[in-house]
Structure 1
Amino acid sequence: MPRQVIHTEHAPKAIGTYSQAVRVGNTVYLSGQIPLDPATMTLVDDNMEMQIRRVFDNLSAVAEAAGGTLGDVVKLNVFLTDLGHFPLVNEIMANYFSEPYPARAAIGVAALPRGAGVEMDAILVLPD
């Protein structure tokens, strides 16, 4: 199956050798998003709530560019520099997702690009 590269100006530009997302058939693989403001390419405030919301907004923009929504996410990976923020991720995620929720992993990491406190990537399956 051919690959289709997904790109939108409504999410941060790639800061490395990767695409914002790649679609193969009905499956879309979203690259990790950190809390960068797409207009300025700078990290949002150090406030963790703002960082988590920005990441979900960035993922949403890429999902929309691929022809889907966050409701099409089947797998979400959450990377946190402080797992103490995991309850906040759950609280905010409830504003972006509804049941049935995607499968998910939460991973504690030592550091993330640009000093971010959170990064997420996702897999979407689009309807036929």
Structure 2
Amino acid sequence: MTKRQPIYPAGRHALYDEHGYSPAIPAGAFLFVSGQVGSREDGTPHPDFEQQVRLAFENLKAVLAAAGATLDDIVDVTTFHTDPKTQFDTVLAVKQDYFPEKPYPTWTAIGVTWLSGFDFEIKVIARLPQAA
């Protein structure tokens, strides 16, 4: 079995080591990206929910870029929300800025009770451009 080769973005934050996970792992033609949150440089959540969502997307873009991929390479999205009923309109508005036109990736939204101090998390599966 080949050893996992993690992908780390520039400006890697402490959460990866603190919680013991890799930001992304390529496997064949795909990149499996761990849940990205709206963490500031020190690893703490941004206090403003919209900014937390935007930072999560920016952190996601940084991980994808480190693997040579972009948002256009995403095929599957899963998002986690601590209060979907009150947060979903904000998430949809931010999502529109990052995925402005069809075709959209598949998307599953899940309500959760805990995200280690965060209120939003996004994880994706993307195809690796160099594998295409």
Question: Is TM (by shorter chain) over 0.5?
Answer: yes
Q: Which of residues 34, 43, 54 is equivalent to 1:31?
A: 34
Q: Residue 7 of structure 2 corresponds to which residue in structure 1?
A: 6
Q: 1:1-128, aligned counterparts within 5 Å? A: 2=2, 3-13=4-14, 14=16, 15-37=18-40, 39-44=41-46, 46-83=47-84, 84-97=86-99, 98-113=101-116, 115-127=117-129, 128=132
How far the C-alpha of 1:11 sits from its partner, in A, is: 4.6
Instruction: Output the aligned Cα RMSD.
Output: 1.5
Number of equivalences? 125
1:75–1:102 contact (8 Å) kept in structure 2: yes
1:10–1:58 contact (8 Å) kept in structure 2: no
Q: Which aligned segments of 4 or more residues in structure 1 are displaced greater than 6 angstroms?
A: none
For the residues of structure 1 that align with 2:87 and 2:12, how far apart are their CA atoms?
Answer: 23
Structure 2 gaps, min length 5: none
Give deviations 1:13-39, integer Å, cap 9, x for gaps.
Answer: 4032210000012200000111111x3
Q: Secondary structure at the match of 1:57?
A: helix
2:10–2:66 contact (8 Å) kept in structure 1: no
Structure 1 gaps, min length 5: none
Q: Secondary structure at the match of 2:54?
A: helix
For the residues of structure 2 that align with 1:11 and 1:36, how far apart are their CA atoms?
Answer: 11
Identical residues among aligned pairs (%): 38
How far the C-alpha of 1:90 sits from its partner, in A, is: 1.1
For the residues of structure 1 that align with 2:108 and 2:13, how far apart are their CA atoms?
Answer: 23
1:11–1:62 contact (8 Å) kept in structure 2: no
TM-score after normalising by structure 1: 0.89
1:80–1:119 contact (8 Å) kept in structure 2: yes
Q: Secondary structure at the match of 1:94?
A: helix
